[in-house]
Amino acid sequence: MEKELLDNHLLTLDCEFGRYFTPSQISAIKEVIRYGEWGDADQEYLLGLDAINKRIFSSPKYSYGYITNDVTSESEIYTNNKVFSGVISGVSKILSKGCPFMVYLKDYWGDGKADLLFINVEYFNKYFDNYSEIIKAWAKQ
């Protein structure tokens, strides 16, 4: 992929994530993408609340999941699990209000071992069609 096009795609991700998250939260999300890659699944996304505070969800979207729990064993930025957990807790609070492209699911398999972040691949397909390549390049920035 030519550098200018890749730079435009990376800027798109910076803008989308920057609308919701702080720089430290974005850094933690990037580490989850780098070290927690799990696999794909269909996932619903909380879009917000209606006038009577009822949650509004999207239909299931093709998504990619990332396990948050093992990041500190691999990351050079987040080596302290308590610090990382605090940042991810902040991400989770933001996502609990609604986000069209990411959702946090605590204890995904019900065994207490894995929390996952899912990113809506369909959402980013409107900007580029090679999600995996672009998201990995963005996470390495």
The CA distances from residue 6 to 13, 37, 54, 102, in Å, are 11, 21, 39, 22
Q: Supply the DSSP string of 37-55, one letter for each residue.
A: EEEEEEE--EEEE-TTS-E
Owning domain of residue 91: 3-140
**CA dihedral defined by 73, 93, 45, 62, rounded to 10 degrees?**
-10
For 24-61, how does the pLDDT look when each residue is reduced to its tens digit (9 = 90+)?
A: 999 999 999 999 999 999 998 888 878 887 888 888 99
pTM: 0.90
Residue-wise pLDDT tens digits, 70-127: 888 888 888 788 899 999 999 999 998 889 999 999 999 999 889 999 999 999 999 9
Beta strands per DSSP E along 16-107? 37-43, 46-49, 55-57, 61-67, 102-105
Tally of structural domains, the chain: 1
pLDDT, tens digit (0-9, with 9 covering 90-100), for 8-28: 999 999 999 999 999 999 999
